Chains A and B, each alone.
Chain A
Amino acid sequence: DAKTTQPNSMESNEEEPVHLPCNHSTISGTDYIHWYRQLPSQGPEYVIHGLTSNVNNRMASLAIAEDRKSSTLILHRATLRDAAVYYCIRPIQGAQKLVFGQGTRLTINP
């Protein structure tokens, strides 16, 4: 079971940090955590992925709990263009089969 659990929606203000949580309590030791986001009228867009330690890239940071049962996507300074649905995903190992949940709809207030 590759299920993850995320809040249905979150709201934040422009230029403030945003922390998007994800629970994946049944994760195995070799499963990566991937985050994608989908802007309105577009296909999903890769954000970041990681296995154990925290990861950073130009878009975001990914903080993974020590027991790997949860993770948090961090947008350091949200902009209006970050308004999207964010998906936390555990790909089935060895395949490109992504199991998308309902994701978190992030609203950014100006």
Chain B
Amino acid sequence: KAGVTQTPRYLIKTRGQQVTLSCSPISGHRSVSWYQQTPGQGLQFLFEYFSETQRNKGNFPGRFSGRQFSNSRSEMNVSTLELGDSALYLCASSLALATGELFFGEGSRLTVL
């Protein structure tokens, strides 16, 4: 079956712009979580959605937001981009909350100039 799909894979934005990233989970998976990966901070949890509800949130400013649709697809948005937002944004899906295995996509690499 198809894995987790993230789009776009690469994008370049300038400071002050906003960006929307998309994640399609594995069919049947209802939990989607987002992570930010940078060389300095490593992998950091952003937020988690289950059944269209945000269940957990990491320690990121309000410029970072997300949502989940009824088909479990998820989007995350970053407004007023800063240089430090340049990162690989990873989406992971699982069948339900608190299951043993997360399936990660290949990520969306955002560069902010």
Neighbouring B residues of A13 by C-beta, 8 Å: none
How large, as a class, is the contact surface on chain A? Answer: 20 to 34
* Contact present for B42 and A100 (CB under 8 Å): yes
* Contact present for A44 and B100 (CB under 8 Å): no
State A49–B102 Cα separation when bound (angstroms). 11
Secondary structure of the B contact surface, majority rule:
strand
Secondary structure of the A contact surface, majority rule:
loop
State A83–B68 Cα separation when bound (angstroms). 34
Least CB distance, B30 to chain A, in whole angstroms = 11
Q: Is A42 an interface residue (CB 8 A)?
A: yes
- Interface stretch of the complex, out of B11-19, B74-82, B89-97: B89-97
Least CB distance, B42 to chain A, in whole angstroms = 6
Please judge, given known A-B contacts A44-B43, A44-B90, whether A96 and B101 are in contact too, CB under 8 Å.
no
Which of A32, A46, A101 has the most chain B CB atoms closer than 10 A to its own CB?
A: A46
Neighbouring A residues of B4 by C-beta, 8 Å: 43
- How many chain-B residues does the 8 Å CB contact rule pick out? 26
Using a Cβ cutoff of 8 Å, how many contacts connect chains A and B?
64
Q: Is B64 an interface residue (CB 8 A)?
A: no
Q: Is A93 an interface residue (CB 8 A)?
A: yes
* Contact present for B33 and A45 (CB under 8 Å): no
Neighbouring A residues of B106 by C-beta, 8 Å: 41-43
* Contact present for B101 and A46 (CB under 8 Å): yes
Least CB distance, B79 to chain A, in whole angstroms = 23
Partner of A96, one of B42, B44, B94, B107: B94
Neighbouring A residues of B105 by C-beta, 8 Å: 43
State A44–B92 Cα separation when bound (angstroms). 9
Least CB distance, B107 to chain A, in whole angstroms = 5
- Where the two chains meet, the residues of A that have a C-beta atom closer than 8 Å to any C-beta of B are 32, 34, 36, 41-46, 49, 87, 91-103
